[in-house]
């Protein structure tokens, strides 16, 4: 191990406990690795890091190559070298541990990555292809208009019109839709209503519908057929509604759900096609965060790049829309309603509240402040008023300002007083 800094020195800073390896000592320590045929250190590493390989490269002085090997299976080897419990994992299972002390794998890993940072070998991870399309879930409780929202997204992309009459699509193009639960006549009726609300014609949209009776993502034949269809049509958006009708697997088992989601992710990457998957929330999960309320494995929540969730608010027919993104700020507070206007039946977003105007004070606050001043024989300063009414300083200050503006109280050098006195 590198030399340990004294406690007297450490209490004066926030630097690390151990000093850094010098090159010769790091090479000497890495050279102790016996390069055994069955690398128990690698087997017991949760990440499966190629520990013997980068130890050998370090012993040979090939540190840049050692860093490349260390970072090939680990996004943050500099962190693992510091906080990973090596004594219970890789070092604890080193075959030379008994009687000779194990190779200090964590310290060597830290030395490799620190050297990489010092020499500028660490480069940001960038995708080989920047993709403009993503995958996402439209989720929510039963009867929350998930299908209406998915169809609204489809019309927006196919027609280049604002989704929900407010949100303009970033890209437009052909849409491929499979609605597994609703009859084609019902789907067409809903699309007609949405198009009427969006002031466009359904016949003018490049919207293709899969008319097969079933599509099973857990069957290889159906996966191949869907792949062929997407490859032939090259849609900008694929909408699958709902997930529960696309398989016969146990949604609670990650090992069964993940391959299906991987297949859909593969479609997105191979054909530059965004994918929307409609899925249900669990029963009795209204108290959970939107994404955590999805039914089945957490793989579903983790899979989406951008997920939309709908919930009933208890306010008549109002629906609360929550949006979560993998790489952007999330947003909540959008209120939607399914409204029939003439021949159209579609979701509409309520107008956002005016955040520039302050919310009016509740009448009770103003009345309590006025009553406190009326019961006092002398003027009261703000602090004294607050002590009487037991309200926050900001609330009392706003109430006093309102009463002064209305002429109901007056401000004097010693405080506030009822104007009629």
Q: Which residues pair with 176 in a beta bridge?
A: 208, 238
pLDDT for res 332: 67
Give the confidence band of 30 by pLDDT, cuts at 50, 70, 90.
Answer: confident
Instruction: Provide mean pLDDT across the span 204-228.
Output: 95
pLDDT band at 1 (very low <50, low <70, confident <90, very high): low
Q: Which residue shows structure tokens 């007083």?
A: 417
Go through the domains of the chain in sequence order and give each one's CATH number.
Answer: 7-118 (1.10.1060.10), 135-349 (3.40.50.300), 363-418 (1.10.10.10)
The answer, yes or no, to whether residue 74 has pLDDT greater than 90, is no
Q: How far is CA 203 from CA 34, 40, 111, 159, in A?
A: 71, 64, 65, 10
Band of pLDDT at residue 151, cut at 50, 70 and 90: very high
Report, as an integer, the average pLDDT of 53-60: 90
Q: What whole-number distance in Å separates Cα of residue 54 and Cα of residue 30?
A: 9
pLDDT value of position 197 = 93
Query: Average pLDDT, stretch 33-42?
Result: 85
Q: pTM for this one?
A: 0.59
For range 391-408, the mean pLDDT: 83
Percent of the chain with pLDDT over 90: 37
Give the pLDDT confidence of 340-358 residue by residue, as tens digits. 888 789 998 887 655 555 5
**Hey, which bits of 47-188 come out as E strands?**
135-140, 175-179
* Confidence bin at 361 (pLDDT 50/70/90): low
What is the overall mean pLDDT for the chain? 86
pLDDT in tens, 219-248: 999 999 999 999 999 999 999 999 999 999
In this structure, are residues 308 and 136 in contact, taking their beta carbons and an 8 Å threshold? yes
Residue 275 has pLDDT above 70, yes or no: yes
pLDDT on residue 199: 92
pLDDT at 413 > cutoff 90: no
Tokens of 111: 């030395």
Instruction: Give the distance from CA 15 to its chain's centroid.
Output: 33
| pLDDT value at 330 more than 70 | yes
- Asked if 136 contacts 277 with a C-beta cutoff of 8 angstroms, the reply is yes
Q: What gap in Å lies between CA 123 and CA 363, rounded to an integer?
A: 60
pLDDT of residue 174: 96
pLDDT of the residue at 93: 86
Place of tokens 């992710």: 265
Question: What pLDDT sits at residue 315?
Answer: 66
Higher pLDDT, 63 or 315: 63
Q: What is the mean pLDDT of residues 186-210?
A: 94
Does the pLDDT value for residue 176 go beyond 60? yes
CA distances to 51, 84, 119, 216, 386 from 68, rounded to whole Å, are: 12, 19, 13, 41, 64
Is 95 exposed, middle or buried (CB count within 10 Å of its CB: 0-12, 13-18, 19+)?
middle
Mean pLDDT of 104-110: 88
Confidence of residue 104 (pLDDT cuts 50, 70, 90): confident
Q: Find, among 301, 262, 263, 264, the residue nearest to 279 by Cα.
A: 301
Range with lowest mean pLDDT among 9-18, 242-251, 359-368, 373-382: 359-368
For residue 371, pLDDT beyond 70: yes
pLDDT of residue 297: 86
Tell whether the model's pLDDT for residue 99 goes beyond 60: no
């Amino acid at each position: 191990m590198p030399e340990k800094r004294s406690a007297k020195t450490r209490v004066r800073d926030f630097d690390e406990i151990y000093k850094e390896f010098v090159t010769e000592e790091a090479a000497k320590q890495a050279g102790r690795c016996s390069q055994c045929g069955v690398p128990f250190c690698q087997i017991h590493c949760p990440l499966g890091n190629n520990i013997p390989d980068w130890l050998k490269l370090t012993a040979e002085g090939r540190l840049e190559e050692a860093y490349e090997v260390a970072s090939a299976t680990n996004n943050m080897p500099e962190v693992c070298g510091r906080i990973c419990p090596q004594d219970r994992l890789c070092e604890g299972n080193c075959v030379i541990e008994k009687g000779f002390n194990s190779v200090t794998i964590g310290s060597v890993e830290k030395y490799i990555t620190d050297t990489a940072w010092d020499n500028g070998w660490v480069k940001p991870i960038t995708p080989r292809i920047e993709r403009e399309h993503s995958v996402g879930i439209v989720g929510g409780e039963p009867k929350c208009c998930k299908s209406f929202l998915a169809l609204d997204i489809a019309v927006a992309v196919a027609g280049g019109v604002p989704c929900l009459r407010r949100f303009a699509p970033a890209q437009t193009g052909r849409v491929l839709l499979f609605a597994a639960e609703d009859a084609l006549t019902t789907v067409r009726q809903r699309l007609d209503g949405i198009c009427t609300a969006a002031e466009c014609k359904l016949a003018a949209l490049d919207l293709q519908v899969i008319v097969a009776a079933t599509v099973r993502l857990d069957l290889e034949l159906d996966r191949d057929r869907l792949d062929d269809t997407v490859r032939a049509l090259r849609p900008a958006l694929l909408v699958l509604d709902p997930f529960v009708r696309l398989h016969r697997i146990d949604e609670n088992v990650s090992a069964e759900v993940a391959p299906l989601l991987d297949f859909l992710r593969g479609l997105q990457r191979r054909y530059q096609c965004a994918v929307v998957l409609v899925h249900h929330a669990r029963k009795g999960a209204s108290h959970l965060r939107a994404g955590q309320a999805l039914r089945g494995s957490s793989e579903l929540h983790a899979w989406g790049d951008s997920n939309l969730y709908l919930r009933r608010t208890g306010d008549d027919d109002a629906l609360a829309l929550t949006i979560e993104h993998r790489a952007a700020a999330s947003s909540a507070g959008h209120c939607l309603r399914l409204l029939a206007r003439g021949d159209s039946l579609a979701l509409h977003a309520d107008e956002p509240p005016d955040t520039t105007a302050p919310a009016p004070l509740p009448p009770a606050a103003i009345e309590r402040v006025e009553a406190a001043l009326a019961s006092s024989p002398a003027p009261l300063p703000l602090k004294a008023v607050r002590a009487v009414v037991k309200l926050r300083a900001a609330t009392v200050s706003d109430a006093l300002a309102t009463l002064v503006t209305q002429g109901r109280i007056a401000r004097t050098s010693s405080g506030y007083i009822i104007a009629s006195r």
